A and B are shown apart, each in its own frame.
Chain A
Amino acid sequence: MNKELEHSFVELLEKHQNIVHKVCRLYTNNYDAHNDLFQEITIQLWRAYPKFRGDAKFSTWMYRVGLNTAITLYRKSKRTINTQDYAGVEFKIKAEDYDDTEEQQLKTLYKAVHQLNDIEKALVFLYLEDKDYKEISETLGISSVNARVKMNRIKTKLKAILNP
């Protein structure tokens, strides 16, 4: 690949790197894992870049590649704690973790989000990024009705965690 392409890619990614950091934040829970995933997403972005035609926004395209890498291609390293087996597992949040202050609430929320499965995390991520259901459904490949239903379920789940 030529130098010009390399240059334009690195420059764009440098500018929009927060998107990748945010994906890493939801999918990993320590510094090393964060860096691992960041690295893998960067490589996948670079590999897909020649096909990026600019008909989508660079950032939208990044969401897609980033999430796909996190939920599909990425092999979690041993350092990360496995959080995908959510079904049937109660949240392991003790009563003392819960506090009325907003900060405590946020801490608990992040903890809870980390325990959602990979697909649920993707939905939460796109929701936090202010994406509408159309975009969420296109990114994941499900219908927008199903995206909405699933999102409501996640909200209920989170509410239950915060108000036990």
Chain B
Amino acid sequence: MDELDLLKKDWKKGNSNYPKLSYNDIYKMILKKSSSIVKWIFIISLLEFGFWLSISFAFKGSVYSNKIDELNINHILIPITIISYAVLIYFFYLFYKNYKNISTTDSSKTLMENILKTRKTVKHYVIFNLASLFIGAFIGVFYNFNHNPEFSSKLELASASGEVFKFYAVIFMVTLLVIGVVIGVLLLFYWLIYGILLKRLNNNYKELKKLES
């Protein structure tokens, strides 16, 4: 006899061996919270959003932000802030839409495709955050060069001693290094969270794709 038929015979017999949950047991269950992957992606994106927001608030009124005020670059800073928040809110909307669109009644493959679409949104979101960090840092350095009196006096000192190139090079390297470290840490963080969260789903999706090829 076929191995699976042997299993099937036993499978059908086993109907009475399962725990029997009462109406109340099941009723209590539907009141509980889901812990599905999709939900976690959504929650993590919310937490991240909160994280960036609280960082920007934390800087408000600090010595650093006073310095920025002195630089008088609000005409640039305000539009940039508005645009970046508009983009963040748009992402936020996408996350929510993806979350709502995911339906367990689709075929497994469709469902996985939809979740991976969500992951793509996450990826774009990460790229956006990192890119804005990068651009922000360079704008900051650029404005310091041009508008920061402290900076200009140091530059004058450097040019007096004939070390202008060295001065620029050091500034450039330090900026790159700091940005590199920050981006590295963030990438590691994203990789850990989303990588672990989606590992199993990815494996299963690959398996289904393999069947089709």
Interface, chain A (partner B; CB < 8 A) = 6, 9-11, 13-14, 17-18, 21-22, 25, 38-40, 42-48, 51-52, 61, 64-65, 67-69, 71-76, 84-85, 102, 105-106, 109-110, 113, 117-119, 122, 124, 127-130, 138-143, 146-147, 149-150, 154-155, 158-159, 162
Contact = CB atoms under 8 A, between A and B. Distances in A.
Contact of A11 (B15, B23, B40): B23
B3 A155 contact: yes
Contact of A106 (B7, B23, B203, B208): B7
A141 B30 contact: no
A21 B19 contact: yes
B150 interface: no
Residue of A22, A72, A109, A119 contacting most chain B CB atoms (<10 Å): A72
Interface of B: 2-4, 6-8, 10-11, 15, 18-23, 26-27, 29-30, 32-38, 40, 103-112, 115, 197, 200-201, 203-204, 207-208, 211-212
A150 B210 CA distance: 11
Given A46-B30, A84-B200, A140-B107, 14 more contacts: A9-B30, A10-B27, A43-B29, A43-B32, A61-B105, A64-B104, A68-B104, A71-B108, A71-B204, A106-B6, A113-B7, A122-B108, A141-B109, A146-B212
Nearest to B210: A119
A119 B200 contact: no
A75 B6 contact: no
Contact of A65 (B3, B105, B109): B105
Nearest to A129: B11
A127 B36 CA distance: 26
A35 to B, nearest CB: 9
Contact of A6 (B8, B30, B33, B204): B30
A149 B37 CA distance: 30
Contacts of A141: 106-110, 208
Nearest to A1: B30
Contacts of A155: 2-4
A117 B201 CA distance: 12
A10 B30 CA distance: 9
